[in-house]
Structure 1
Amino acid sequence: IARRVREAAKQLGYSVNYAASALRSDVTKTIGLVIPSATEPFSAQLLDEIEPTIDTESQQLLLGIGATQEAQAERIESLANRHVDGLIVVPAAGADLAGTLNQYANTLPIVQICGRQTAPRVSVVGIDENAAMEAIVKHLAEQGIASAAYMAGNELSFESAELFATFHTHMRTYGLATSENWNQFGERTVQRGFDCAMRLFNGPLVQPEAVVCADDAIAFGVMVAFDALGIRVPEDVLVVGYHDSAIARTTMPRLTSVRAPFERIVSECLRLLASGPAGGAAETAAAPGGSVRAPRVMLAPQLIVRDSSVFRR
């Protein structure tokens, strides 16, 4: 029906004036989205999923991009002042947006994607990082390896710290060895992966049998370094990435990677926004002390197994 209405409006030369509509109603038919970057894999895939979904519901997506806490706070304020019907925020690495979000959370439905829930009236839809890392380590253990390294993301990121901790937990659970010298935080770039792999595999006598990376870009850099060193993937070393970006499907061999459930993420975000401020928690559940705690929804990702992590000896 929505498609036919838009086609008829187009034929008649009609266009919606959302500003005028807002003067006549509390509803503006707009959703705000704040992301750290439009090119970073997670944000880019989220944007690809959410834009057509919102368009199908005859709403408009207003986008704010900010790579720092200060920039994101400005984007949030700007979108709130435009009277969006709801706001979705993906915090930048190290950003603490609790103060900014709390300013608007009493009257504006807000959903944060990933990160720690620091604003009690802001709903959170996140990735179950524990399930993700367990799937990775379990898969590696099934390949018969004895050791693995982990190239984590930015240490200021809540997700990076959580994945780093769960990596060590599951390595112990499955009886696999690792080393402090193998596991480092750093940028999610090809260059970082290349440099780390050259350091780990160009000299030391004891080397890991697998490398787990917090991003596909890091994993690609690792594979470039291995090619330069004459190390074969997967015959000599297994490699696993994260985010299942386009890189994972174009490397040789193709890269095993973790895929976030973007369709479910978007669905949950829109459901919580439609429930009103605090995801409707004010009507259903009160936290100790009488304060309201908005919902926190954790979704399990999927490990997409490809050639880079299946041993062929």
Structure 2
Amino acid sequence: MTSAQMPASARPTSRDVARAAGVSQATVSLVLGDKWRGRVSEATAARVRHAADGLGYQPNLAARQLRLGRTRTALLVVPALTNEFFARVHTGAAAVAAEHGFGVVLYPSPEGVGPARDPFASARASLDGVIASSMAAGALDALRGADLPLVMLDSDPADTGVAARVDLDIADGMRQVAEHLLALGHRRFVHLAAAVDSWTFAIRARALHDTVGAVPGTCVRTVEAALDVHAGREAAQRALAAPGPRPTAIVCDDDVLAAGACKTARRLGLRVPDDLSVTGFSDLALSVAVEPELTTVRLPAERVGERGMAALLAVLDGRPAEPGSLPVRLVARGSSAAAPQDAGRA
């Protein structure tokens, strides 16, 4: 059976060639695209060709068109179109793409955590690369098997097989939230966590528990909820009605969950922030539409999209992508204040 006759999942990819030759995927692209002279040594080029021959590697049509400069199209995969953050990521990516004569095809995941089995089976030949934002671990196997350069945004740094990645300093964002509330005297916390299996939410939980847990006399209770206002309201209701001393702060994984928590507080006759502080994450437009306005973490969504597209363009040109994580910033507003002296019970 030849490489072309193998199922897509079994065919050797350029990443396999790079691994076998001990070089980067960008170097493989240069050598097999016949653009290596003056950029890669003769010995390295020979090693890459030998590895490709030994594996029976055959570039797919998308890669061939890429070398000829015919496609100029990137696929942006996001968990949902209903979330403002991903709309802004697309805005940033599309702006940079337009500057370089590229188009961006937007693909929302039907399951909210990763793409369908193969979102571009019929369009693979018209794509130069893929940018994937906030995907769950293991959700991108179909993309890896497509032999297209893959740039990951706000995703697990341990995830292998990617050409480049653009990270937000999510952990620092949650540390800023925790330190802000601790400085205000809060010691009893509820973590209103998104019920989504993805790295970006797992790292928030870890940073919150580590930061709060380092202070004696503190406690954090985690309650999960789907990413919508109704689910956030119900989860906050359960947390505040639980036996024992009432928490003085609810730390939410997202501004939408924080809006639900604020609705619950009002229904229980609690004042935000006098009786209960509530924080969000992302700094969506919603954060200043509620009253009081939300203390939250500002994520530079458009900058994420810009850096993601720039990283893909760098990979396609055989250049290294810009390194380093994008910083995030706590925005303190009216929903957080000093912990009440006597929290009582919900």
- Cα distance in 2 between the residues matched to 1:296 and 1:77: 31
Aligned with 2:155 (options 115, 119, 122)? 115
Give 5+ residue unaligned stretches, structure 2: 1-64, 341-346
* Corresponding residue of 1:183: 222
Amino acid at match of 1:306: R
- Cα distance in 2 between the residues matched to 1:128 and 1:118: 16
TM-score (ref. length: structure 2): 0.70
* Corresponding residue of 1:66: 109
Conservation of the 8 A alpha-carbon contact between 2:78 and 2:114: no
CA drift at 1:312: 8.8
CA drift at 1:295: 8.4
Aligned with 2:255 (options 213, 216, 233)? 216
Conservation of the 8 A alpha-carbon contact between 2:223 and 2:239: no
* Corresponding residue of 1:308: 335
* Corresponding residue of 2:208: 167
CA drift at 1:237: 0.8
* Residue correspondence of structure 1 range 129-144 to structure 2 within 5 A: 129-144=170-185
Q: Considering only aligned residues, what root-mean-square deviation do their CA atoms show, in Å?
A: 2.8
Taking structure 1 as reference, are residues 230 and 220 closer, same or farther at Cα in structure 2, changes over 3 Å only? Answer: same
- Cα distance in 2 between the residues matched to 1:154 and 1:279: 39
Taking structure 1 as reference, are residues 279 and 119 closer, same or farther at Cα in structure 2, changes over 3 Å only? Answer: farther
TM-score (ref. length: structure 1): 0.77
- Cα distance in 2 between the residues matched to 1:148 and 1:110: 38
Give CA deviations for 1:170-210 in whole Å, capped at 9, x if unaligned: 0023446124xx31233111112111222222363411110
* Corresponding residue of 1:4: none
Taking structure 1 as reference, are residues 79 and 211 closer, same or farther at Cα in structure 2, changes over 3 Å only? Answer: farther
* Residue correspondence of structure 1 range 80-159 to structure 2 within 5 A: 80-82=124-126, 84-93=127-136, 95-97=138-140, 99-105=141-147, 108-116=148-156, 117-159=158-200
- Cα distance in 1 between the residues matched to 2:339 and 2:197: 37
Taking structure 1 as reference, are residues 176 and 298 closer, same or farther at Cα in structure 2, changes over 3 Å only? Answer: farther
- Whichever of the two has the greater Rg, that structure is 2
Aligned with 1:49 (options 88, 92, 110)? 92
Conservation of the 8 A alpha-carbon contact between 1:258 and 1:302: yes
- Cα distance in 2 between the residues matched to 1:139 and 1:151: 17
* Corresponding residue of 2:275: 236
* Corresponding residue of 2:119: 75
CA drift at 1:226: 0.6
- Cα distance in 2 between the residues matched to 1:65 and 1:265: 17
Which range is displaced more, 216-225 or 36-45? Answer: 36-45
| Matched position secondary structure for 1:239 | strand
Conservation of the 8 A alpha-carbon contact between 1:122 and 1:278: no
Give CA deviations for 1:77-111 in whole Å, capped at 9, x if unaligned: 455331x23321125445521x3233244xx3321
Amino acid at match of 1:80: R
- Cα distance in 1 between the residues matched to 2:198 and 2:114: 16
- Cα distance in 1 between the residues matched to 2:117 and 2:73: 19
* Corresponding residue of 1:194: 233
- Cα distance in 1 between the residues matched to 2:290 and 2:238: 22
Amino acid at match of 2:329: Q
CA drift at 1:75: 1.8
Which range is displaced more, 250-259 or 139-148? Answer: 139-148
- Cα distance in 2 between the residues matched to 1:32 and 1:230: 48
CA drift at 1:74: 1.9
